[in-house]
Structure formats: C-alpha cells, structure tokens
Amino acid sequence: MEKETELVTSLLDFLHEDHPNVRQVALENLLRYTDSTSKLQHLFKRENMKPIRDLITLCNDETVTAHNAYKALVNLTADEEIRRIFNNENFLKYLTRTITNRDSVLADMACMLLSNITKDETVAAKLLSLKVRPIKDLSNSSQTIGQLTDVFVRGFEKKYNKEAEFHFLASVFANVTMLPQGRDFFLSNASSSENVTPLSKLIVFTEHPNIIRRGGVVSCIKNCCFATERHLDMLSEDKINVLPYILLPLCGPEEFDTDDMEGMPDDIQLLSSDKKRELDSYLKRTLLESLLLLTTTRQGRDILRQKKVYPVIRQMHLVEKDEKVGDKFNN
C-alpha cells in the first residue's frame, strides 16, 4: 500500500505538466484510483483539493484527456466534500457551453458531472442563478437552466447532437427542484413569448425507456408537487396538466368499468392490451407520493376524485407485489 500511495502521489504531480502526452498518461493511470472503492481516493483531496482543480482544468484539454478528466470527476464527485468546490460560476458556464454545443463529443459526460455536483444545494442554487445569451436554433432562454431544459427536450434521440442523448440532465432537474427557486422556474412560463412552463416540456418523458431520463423527470414532478400554491395549475388541463403523466406509468393492461372511466383523463382510457406498468419500485413509490402531495389541498383532492384516480390505484394495488410500494396505498 505504501508503494502504491507513493505512485499515486507522484502521478498526481504530473496532471499539471506542460507536455500533453505526460498529462494523458498520468491521468490514464490514475483513473482506477478515482473509484469510490479505492482506498487511495482520499489522495485526490490533498493540498486543498489541488488534484481536483487540476482535473477541472483538464476538462478543457485534448479530447482523450478531457474525457478521462470528466470520467474521474464523475467518480470523485460521489464524495460530498469534493462536490462543494464546484460552486464556481465560470466552471458551471463552461459545463453548460459544453452541453449546449451541438458539436461537442463530451456533452453527455458534462451532463453526468453536472448531475452529480448539483446534489450540492449551493451548486444547484448557483446554476439556477446563471444568466447567458440565447442560443440560435436551440433556446430563446437567457437562463442557463432554461437552455438545459431546451437541449434536453430538443436533443431527444440525438436530434441536436449526434453524440449526445442528454438523459442525465433529468437528474439535474430533479436536483434543482429540491430548492424553492428551482420549483418556481419549472412551474412558471418559460418566457413572455412562450406560453408554456418548463415542466410541461418534461412530463411527456415519464414513460421513456431510459430509466435515467424518466426517473429524473418523475422526481422533478414530485418535487414540484411540494409547491402547493401551484397545484391548480399543475392539474389544470389548460395549463400544465401533469395528472395523466403521473397515472400512465401506474397503469397496466387492465380494463376499467365504464363508470370508472367516466371523468378519467383521455390518455389513460382504453389502453392497449400490452400496456406495461412501471417496473422500478422506487419510481412507482415516487409517482404515488406525487399523488399524495397533490391531495394536500382541498382543490387537489376534488380534482383527483373527479378524474377517477382511485380506480387506477385500486387496479395497481391488486397486482402489486412490492411491500414498500404497497405501503404507500395505506398512507
């Protein structure tokens, strides 16, 4: 272990070498020590996090080195103490430019890193406060978080950047909506010229096959449900209309009685015989918790009753095998 410690320490000193090949080889040999299972990961915190700051600089190096720097930082930012140093406006803007650059081959790596570091509330708050110039052919928003929302939606299925899917931005949205100002952004109109809320753009992904994308969106919805003063907007068919997108993942192929269907959202009536219910237990619990939050106001309870939410939950309860999910029915 002592020799290995000496090796890692010496390699860390090469991260800021002038010669690019030396930096590349040093980082390639350090990658395995960035994993959370490594007993030497703590060495990256030495000298007031100097190795972390070197890795941040390397994100703007040649492509191979930059990719490995991102990979190392994604591993290292599982550590809460390391995440704190990313409360840096310049680096957050750099990450955003990397993500929104349609020619970037590192956009998805930048999304992964951003999803990790925004678990820190101060970083999430900083991201929400950033202002930028609109990007032609992508976003009219002058807010960084607005541009990230637009690239997440418009970049779906690699339509914006052939090298990026942007799935991990969903986790960023889940993180920032833990904060009141984050919920306020997603529940307010995107701009004066766009009569739609950012949340309205996201809710269509609650049944997306990629669990990172749909999971982040589901968590974002739940977090927004804590804004009780916006429940009416969230449930209104003329506004955000979130209810069908909460219920659809909870529906299976079972048919409903005619009486039960009367008043149900159109989207969940007469579903196909091969309709699949959400399989992930955590996401099912999150969706049910969203419904519970929407019942905290009298108006919310009335609307859920009118929209026949109970028959959907009843059918799900009959086939649910996970005890933790089943416990939600008893709340």
pLDDT at 191 over 60: no
Q: How confident is the model at residue 317 (pLDDT cuts 50, 70, 90)?
A: confident
pLDDT at 214 over 60: yes
What's the whole-number average pLDDT of the chain? 92
Q: Would you state the pLDDT for residue 330?
A: 58
pLDDT at 146 over 60: yes
Q: Would you state the pLDDT for residue 193?
A: 54
pLDDT at 190 over 60: no
Q: How confident is the model at residue 69 (pLDDT cuts 50, 70, 90)?
A: very high
Q: What average pLDDT does range 141-146 have in this prediction?
A: 94
Q: What average pLDDT does range 66-73 have in this prediction?
A: 98
Which tens digit of pLDDT belongs to each residue from 94-136?
Answer: 999 999 999 999 999 999 999 999 999 999 999 999 999 999 8
Q: What average pLDDT does range 33-50 have in this prediction?
A: 93
Residue 269 or 215, more confident: 215
pLDDT at 323 over 60: yes
pLDDT at 203 over 60: yes
Q: Would you state the pLDDT for residue 326?
A: 58
pLDDT at 182 over 80: yes
pLDDT at 298 over 90: yes
Which tens digit of pLDDT belongs to each residue from 239-296?
Answer: 999 999 999 999 998 888 888 788 888 888 878 889 899 999 999 999 999 999 999 9
**SS3 per residue for the chain:** CHHHHHHHHHHHHHHHCCCHHHHHHHHHHHHHHCCCCCCCHHHHHHHHHHHHHHHHHHCCCCHHHHHHHHHHHHHHCCCHHHHHHHCCHHHHHHHHHHHHCCCCCCHHHHHHHHHHHCCCHHHHHHHHHCECCCECCCECCCEHHHHHHHHHHHCHHHCCCCCCCCCCHHHHHHHHCCCHHHHHHHCCCCECCECCCHHHHHHHHCCCCCHHHHHHHHHHHHHHCCCHHHHHHHHCCCCCCCHHHHHHHHCCCCCCCHHHHCCCCHHHCCCCCCCCCCCCHHHHHHHHHHHHHHCCCHHHHHHHHHCCHHHHHHHHHHHCCCHHHHHHCCC
Q: Would you state the pLDDT for residue 72?
A: 97
pLDDT at 328 over 60: no
